[in-house]
Amino acid sequence: MIHIILFRPEIHPNTGNIARLCAANGLPLHIVGEPGFRIDDRSVRRAGLDYWPHVNLRREADLQEVRALLPESRFFYFSAHAERSYTDVRYQKGDCLIFGPETKGLSHELLDENREYALRIPMKTPHVRCLNLSSSVAIAAYEALRQLSFFP
């Protein structure tokens, strides 16, 4: 099992897509800090997330709380500003894949403090600042699951 961690997500449809990915693969989804939208039954129904009951949703106040809950886990921080490619990692069960808010990403301070665990998804051209959050989570999650022989 790997953990998907969204730090202060801002856009409900992205989180909905990620929740669907987590539900489809039995992955826990951690929402850390205050999201930029409401996560309640009414909001979820309005967004059409009929699979939401199948999401193993966890809420934590901050990343320190997640670390305390998962002391044996490794934490990987995804950012367009990181130098190391996400494919350079040998993922292990229990790894946590952390993604920042859509408009800001993870802070440079957090990335600097965790430089060896900061990962990027390469892009061929410089014309795009970064990939969509839900696309990035899908790319990273499926690479980790592939390496862990999750699929027959």
Q: Per-residue pLDDT averaged across 1-16, rounded?
A: 93
Q: In this predicted structure, which of 12-16, 78-82, 92-96, 111-115 has the lowest mean pLDDT?
A: 12-16
Is residue 22 very low, low, confident or very high in pLDDT (cuts 50, 70, 90)? very high
Q: What is the tens place of the pLDDT at every residue in 27-61?
A: 999 999 999 888 876 666 565 467 888 899 999 99
Alpha-helical regions (H) of the chain: 12-25, 41-46, 63-69, 108-113, 133-147
Dihedral sign (CA 106, 112, 117, 123): positive
Domains defined along the chain, listed by start:
3-147 (3.40.1280.10)
Q: What is the tens place of the pLDDT at every residue in 63-104?
A: 999 999 999 999 999 999 999 999 999 999 999 999 999 999
pLDDT at 16 over 90: no
Distance CA 69, CA 96 (A): 12
Q: Per-residue pLDDT averaged across 3-11, rounded?
A: 96
Number of residues assigned to the chain: 152
pTM for the full model?
0.94
Distance CA 121, CA 82 (A): 9
Is residue 146 very low, low, confident or very high in pLDDT (cuts 50, 70, 90)? very high
